[in-house]
Structure 1
Amino acid sequence: MTDDLNSVKTDERGYHHGALRPALLKAAESVLADRGVDGFSLRETARRAGVSPAAPAHHFGDTKGLLTALATEAFRKFGDALEAGDVGQDRTERIRSQGRAYVRFALAEPAKFDLMWRYALTDRDNSDYREASSRAFTILDRLVRGEDVTAHDDISAAPSIACWSIVHGFARLALDGVFGTGPGEAEQAAETLLPVVLEHLNV
């Protein structure tokens, strides 16, 4: 144990104070993008960051801790994408626009998108994670049910869950190649087919 801690201190000397954590997160993003969730490892993260194998555990506790940090940041960016996608002249147009933003995020960040919903691999009690994931749903919920959402039980949120289910399912199908695997085919489906699918929602 002492040797591990000493190696962490040695490996951290090349980083300014507070810079190792973001460096590890950046390396972890690279591993996740290349290997996917199931091929992710702390050791490879450490190797790409140029630190000892003990360094990631020293900062994040274990693999779940690091994946939770990655998922938290992914949810923050996802929420930003949903907010930016909320454009249009009326509520229906705004829902369609936000739905397209949802799918575009999934297509642009497939590994992160996969991780976000792999709840067994993340710590759902982590406060930062809960805040980021809740914000993302709230952005969608307020658009579907209205700005003055007060009830947060599943029954009251059913219209939002229905919209979420359709858009998330569409994103998953797009990632799996159902709408084509050629350049831009999935993106085109999100632009043209998804709005037609959303017309079947009674919201």
Structure 2
Amino acid sequence: MSTEKAGYHHGNLRETLVRTALTLLEESGVEALSLRAAARGAGVSAMAPYRHFADKAALLAAVADQGYADLRDRLAAADTQADPRQALVEQGVAYVRFACERPALFRLMLGAPSAGAAPGPKAPAHQPPGPQPPGPKKTAGSGYDILSARVAGLVAEDRRDTAVVAAWSLVHGLACLAVDGRLHGMPGGMAAPEALARQVTSLFTAGLVAARPPSVSA
């Protein structure tokens, strides 16, 4: 009881529950995650989480939101190169690295029915509603802003939105292939995912520059 009261007194019980749930997710998979398990891990009563989360789905959504924030921070940390081409490459590498280092969280952010499910030859015919796929969100200070700011230095204004989607699609698709173990046996698939991410994003940025109208400066 004292632990629970301390959590409320400091106003951090919700954050503690999310962090505990994230640990459970990454250690045991989404099937082991529940409000009761999160409460037990946080050292509070079984009913305490319901003051912050209506059900397991709400808790999972909060964990996914934390994942989006962590991914955004990774992209921001990678976005340190003055050359927009190299900065875009580093963002792509950071995206793939995040997925490979935190596959359970990445899958949860995809809205998959089971974060611990083994990859199969086909995606499920129907997936329940879940958080939107990881990637740029059009909100202030989001990963979208970080990505689009760099793309803006490479393409004409009327092509920027398309180029941002193309860049996101490239690294997101590569991240999914890497996490699901689909790159083994494919040409270039023997390279480490991060090395492969660097290669394909470098090729992509080179294509953007090559297709740039002469009026757009480097």
TM range (shorter): 0.7 to 0.9
Superposition pairs of residues 59-138 of structure 1, within 5 angstroms: 59-118=52-111, 120-122=129-131, 131=139, 135-138=142-145
Determine helix, strand or coil for the equivalent of 1:177. coil
What does residue 195 of structure 1 align with?
198
Q: Which amino acid aligns with 2:143?
A: A
What is the number of equivalent residue pairs in this alignment? 181
Partners of 2:4 and 2:43 within 8 A in 1: no
Structure 2 alignment gaps of length 5 or more:
112-127, 209-218
Measured on the aligned residues, the alpha-carbon RMSD in Å equals: 3.3
Q: Does 1:13 align with 2:5?
A: yes
Q: Kindly tell me: are residues 38 and 165 of structure 1, through their superposed partners in 2, closer, same or farther at Cα, counting changes over 3 Å?
A: farther
Q: Which amino acid aligns with 1:62?
A: D
Q: TM-score, normalised by structure 2?
A: 0.69
Q: Which amino acid aligns with 1:40?
A: L
Q: Which amino acid aligns with 1:88?
A: Q
Partners of 2:79 and 2:146 within 8 A in 1: no
In the TM superposition, residue 163 of structure 1 has moved relative to its aligned partner by: 0.9
In the TM superposition, residue 35 of structure 1 has moved relative to its aligned partner by: 3.1
Partners of 1:104 and 1:187 within 8 A in 2: no
**Could you say which structure has the higher helix fraction?**
1
Distance 1:36 1:130 in 2: 29
Distance 2:190 2:54 in 1: 38
Q: Kindly tell me: are residues 104 and 187 of structure 1, through their superposed partners in 2, closer, same or farther at Cα, counting changes over 3 Å?
A: farther
Given the alignment, which residue of 146, 159, 171 partners 2:163? 159
Identical residues among aligned pairs (%): 36
Partners of 2:151 and 2:160 within 8 A in 1: no
Q: Kindly tell me: are residues 38 and 160 of structure 1, through their superposed partners in 2, closer, same or farther at Cα, counting changes over 3 Å?
A: farther
Partners of 1:87 and 1:93 within 8 A in 2: no
Partners of 2:151 and 2:163 within 8 A in 1: yes
Structure 1 alignment gaps of length 5 or more:
1-8
Determine helix, strand or coil for the equivalent of 2:45. coil
Distance 2:108 2:58 in 1: 13
Q: TM-score, normalised by structure 1?
A: 0.73
Q: Which amino acid aligns with 1:33?
A: E
Distance 2:86 2:164 in 1: 15
Given the alignment, which residue of 165, 168, 181 partners 2:172? 168
Superposition pairs of residues 46-57 of structure 1, within 5 angstroms: 46-57=39-50
Distance 2:8 2:172 in 1: 40
Q: Which amino acid aligns with 1:174?
A: A
Q: Which amino acid aligns with 1:52?
A: S
Q: Which amino acid aligns with 2:172?
A: H
Distance 1:21 1:28 in 2: 10
In the TM superposition, residue 164 of structure 1 has moved relative to its aligned partner by: 0.7
